[in-house]
Chain A
Amino acid sequence: MHRRLGRREFTLTQSFIDIAFRGSIYALFAIGYALTYVAGGTFNVAHPVSAMAAAAAVSWLLARDQPIWVAAGGGVIAGAIAGVIVDRVVLWPARSRGGGPLGPARPLIAGLAALAAFGALAPETERPTHLLHAGYFHIGGFNMPKLTIEGTIASVVALLIVVAIVRATRYGLGLRALGSNTSAARAAGVGAEPMHIRTALLASMCGALAAIALLTAPDYFTGRSTPFDLPLAGLAAVALGGLSSLPASMIGAFIVASAQILAPTADASDAIAAALLVLAIALLPRGLLAATRLRETDRG
């Protein structure tokens, strides 16, 4: 089966691989939103800051002839540091001082301000085009850059690690307890602020890795992506799946990726994500998999 996407003939196999590539990146980014919401009950508008910091660090390191894996490691560290700084300097003060005319909207507005300040001052990032053309895998009758395949594998592995951390570690137990009943979790000895810091670290590493993987996108994806492409898709994913459920966020991410890849035009990926986002909020206000929510207090 062949279909037109942009100026290129796409096979079903290629579409499937593209969905896996985009979906895993979106899922990685979306669970960053979900993790911070589960831990603190507030939506982190500034989550893309970690992605921007990571992309900027990767570009900077590659421009200094560092190998891609060193650059990727540096990017993840830069993204993690940026995420923790945002949590401590921006979200924590806004979260801890309630009341006033802004009320519970303070962390949202503070996050928006942090995102805008960083976005306005962040340097332009460059894709590692020379590395993308360094090697190809021949899959299902077409060539896929090796770096893209490696980016997809890294995203999927990172997703599995995050799920394992949340399901099978002491940190995950504390996170789930905080999400279910914050007061009871605190009474049981779960430290809310240390949990917020660890969650910010984990969520921003996910965001950073997603941004780095997106830099390895095949050439036919670029040119139709805006700087807001990744955050918008991540938002649509959490809106579709449900903000307080990790598996649902991942499913939402793959739905968004499928809709974008299978759409008749290649130039409407932002519009598709935005439309899915508004439709999900209007028709599925609690998400697709409401039963898998980790946080029960999102009724406001």
Chain B
Amino acid sequence: MQHSVSPLVESLWRFGIVGLIGLGVWIVLRSGRVMLGNAAFAAIAAAATAALVARGTADIIAVVAGVLAAAACGALFGVAAARATSTGFAIASLALWAVELSMRAPAGAVLRSQGSPVFVVIAVAGAGVAAWFYARSRHGRAAAAVGQDERAAQGIGIDPVRVRVTAVTVGALLAGVAGSLSVFYPGFDITAYRLHGDIAAFAAVVLGGAGGALGPLVGAALVAIAAVAPVTKEHATAVNAVALLAATIVLPGGIASIFSRAARR
């Protein structure tokens, strides 16, 4: 990378971006589906925002437009895949990798990449709090019910398709916030979303713990700290992937499960 920022600033940016995409993955996971390509929505938002910024549009308008574009794409994907089986949904979400692979940043956008991480940290903190309240809301409980047992949820009047479309849309919206704000990241590189973004997000969710909204944020903090190491994008992805694999097999409840076990004792 050619940019030079302090490790703290770098970590804060990574924490915000990975945390937001990870929260989106967690919301979809809660409804019983695995979204393997949520970073594609971040890439869509980043491309849209970068294109608008490069044409001189006001930053705030560009960010909002990028987020809305990601949410609209998420809603479309949700409508298409919400009726699929869990395996079918996961396979369909892999199609989003084609979007990640095809993304190119418009020329000129990089020149504006000199923002502070304050906004993305505020965004991820706000999203974390919102996700915590969401998990306790009527819709959040309905999503959890659908994730646990779809037929039982239908039996008490919950529409699984509507719940899943909403979950995918909200997940895409959060990824969109990450993508739009990442345009102002000093090391902005839209190709970083190609699989690397998905792996970092999943590593955050599983390492932190998929049992609650705080888990993805704790995991994102770990991923962000590890990302400061001077390694290539590919090596960072390999480290995240190995950590994800180890946590999936050995510690599926994530770090949060260690604390909850200790609290129970």
CB neighbours (8 Å) of A243 from chain B are 87-88, 91
Chain A, Cβ-Cβ closest to B26: A101
CB-based contact B199/A112 at 8 Å: yes
Docked complex Cα distance between A226 and B97 (Å): 11
Q: Using an 8 Å CB-CB cutoff, how does the interface string of B33-61 with A read, 1 for contact, 0 for none?
A: 01010000000000000000000000000
- Taking a contact as CB atoms under 8 Å apart, the answer to whether B245 and A282 are in contact is no
- Give complex CA distance A242, B251 in Å: 33
Is B29 engaged at the interface, CB distance under 8 Å to the other chain?
yes
Query: Does B136 sit at the interface, judged by CB under 8 A?
Result: no
Q: Which A residue's beta carbon lies closest to that of B98?
A: A274
B241 touches which of A104, A113, A282, A300 (Cβ 8 Å): A113
Within the complex, the shortest CB–CB distance from B181 to chain A, in Å, comes to 24
Task: Verify A239–B92 contact, CB threshold 8 A.
Answer: yes
Is B210 on the interface with A (CB-CB < 8 A)?
A: yes
CB distance from A233 to the nearest CB of B (A): 11
- Tell me if B199 and A271 are in contact (CB < 8 A): no
Interface centre among A45, A102, A108, A298 (most CB of B within 10 A): A102
Q: Which residue of A lies closest to B246 (CB)?
A: A113
- Contacting residues, chain B, for A226 (C-beta < 8 A): 101
A45→B91 CA distance, assembly (Å): 9
CB-CB contacts of B75-102 with A at 8 A, as 1s and 0s?
A: 0010111011111111110111111011
**Scoring A residues 92 to 130 as 1 if CB is less than 8 Å from chain B, else 0, what string do you get?**
011001011110111011101110110111000000000
Cβ contact of B249, chosen from A94, A232, A300, cutoff 8 A: A94
What's the least CB distance linking A206 to chain B, in Å? 18
Q: Is the CB of B92 within 8 A of A105?
A: no
Q: Are A100 and B95 in contact (CB under 8 A)?
A: no
In the assembled complex, A281 has its CB within 8 A of some CB on chain B:
yes
User: Are the C-beta atoms of B88 and A239 separated by less than 8 Å?
Assistant: yes
Q: Does B238 contact A (CB under 8 A)?
A: yes
Q: How large is the interface on B (under 10, 10 to 19, 20 to 34, 35 or more residues)?
A: 35 or more
With contacts A281-B91, A300-B87 taken as known, whether A112 is within 8 angstroms of B202 at the C-beta atoms is: yes
Q: Find chain A residues with CB under 8 A from B96 CB.
A: 274
B95→A232 contact, CB < 8 A: yes
List residues of A (28-44) whose CB comes within 8 Å of B's CBs. 37, 42-43
The chain A residue sitting closest to B86, CB to CB, is A300
- Assess whether B242 is interfacial by the CB under 8 Å rule: yes
Residue B253 interfacial (CB < 8 Å): yes
Structural contact, B252 and A106, CB atoms closer than 8 A? yes
Digitize B238-265: 1 where CB-to-A-CB distance is under 8 Å, 0 elsewhere: 1011101100110011100100000000
Contact (Cβ within 8 A) A238 B86:
no
> How long is the Cα–Cα vector from A101 to B148 in the complex, in angstroms?
10
Chain A's interface: helix, strand, loop or mixed, by majority? helix
Q: Measured between alpha carbons, how far is A285 from B83 in the docked complex, in Å?
A: 8
> Which chain A residues numbered 260 to 292 have a C-beta less than 8 Å away from chain B?
270-271, 273-275, 277-279, 281-282, 285
- Enumerate chain B residues within 8 angstroms of A109, measured Cβ to Cβ: 34, 202, 206, 244, 248
Q: What chain A residues lie within 8 Å of B79 (beta carbons)?
A: 282
CA of A179 to CA of B248, assembled, Å? 26
B252: which A residues are within 8 A, CB to CB?
A: 97, 99-102, 106
B209 CB contacts on chain A under 8 angstroms: 101
Given contact pairs A105-B29, A121-B238, A43 touches B195 in the complex (Cβ within 8 A): no
* Min distance, Cβ B83 to any Cβ of chain A, angstroms: 6
Q: Are B81 and A282 in contact (CB-based, < 8 A)?
A: yes
Taking CB atoms, residues of chain B closer than 8 Å to A277 are 91-92, 94-95
B78 CB, nearest partner CB in chain A, Å: 11
Contact B90 A274 (CB under 8 A): no
In the complex, which of the residues B90, B96, B202, B209 has the most CB atoms of chain A within 10 Å of its own CB atom? B90
CA distance A109 to B235 in the complex (A): 19
B98 touches which of A37, A102, A232 (Cβ 8 Å): A232
Alpha-carbon distance between A119 and B77 when the two chains are bound, in angstroms: 26
Distance, CA A113 to CA B239, complexed state (A): 10
Q: Which 9 A-B pairs have the closest CB atoms?
A: A117-B241, A100-B252, A274-B98, A113-B245, A116-B241, A282-B80, A101-B210, A281-B92, A274-B95
7 sample A-B contacts, Cβ–Cβ < 8 Å, listed by A number? A90-B249, A110-B245, A116-B199, A232-B97, A270-B98, A279-B80, A281-B81
What is B's interface to A at a CB cutoff of 8 Å? 29, 34, 36, 77, 79-81, 83-92, 94-99, 101-102, 195, 198-199, 202-203, 206, 209-211, 234-235, 237-238, 240-242, 244-245, 248-249, 252-254, 257
Chain A residues in contact with chain B, CB under 8 A? 37, 42-43, 45, 90, 93-94, 97, 99-102, 104-106, 108-110, 112-114, 116-117, 119-121, 226, 228, 231-232, 235-236, 238-239, 243, 270-271, 273-275, 277-279, 281-282, 285, 298-300
